[in-house]
Amino acid sequence: MEHHQPPIQKRGLTAIDGAMSLIVILLMVQMWLLTTALEALLAGHRETALPAALISAAIFGACLVLFLFVDKIDKEVRRR
């Protein structure tokens, strides 16, 4: 027996899946950035520390916005 989801719930789940995928990609980029920034810092290249920290903060902000989006969509879908 196949279970059909209402269209609004299906759209909500698709939006959540997309946002979660973006979060995973952004976190992987952030981990790569922090690893390379630390390697550069340990090699004595201190000029890369501030730009890496600023970009990392921007990635964190993007992940936070995506998380809040997922939370909002989840609450809307559960309400219906």
pLDDT for the residue numbered 4: 65
Q: CA–CA separation, 39 vs 34, rounded Å?
A: 9
> How many residues comprise the chain?
80
pTM: 0.79
How high is the mean pLDDT in each 10-residue block of the chain (80 residues)? Answer: 67 90 96 94 92 95 96 87
Distance (Å, whole) CA 62 – CA 76: 21
Rounded-to-5 percentages of helix, strand, coil across the chain: 90, 0, 10
Q: Residue 9: what pLDDT?
A: 77
**Residue 60: closest CA among 17, 19, 31, 18:** 31
Q: What per-residue confidence (pLDDT) applies to 6?
A: 67
What pLDDT is attached to residue 5? 63
| Token pair belonging to 34 | 């922090």
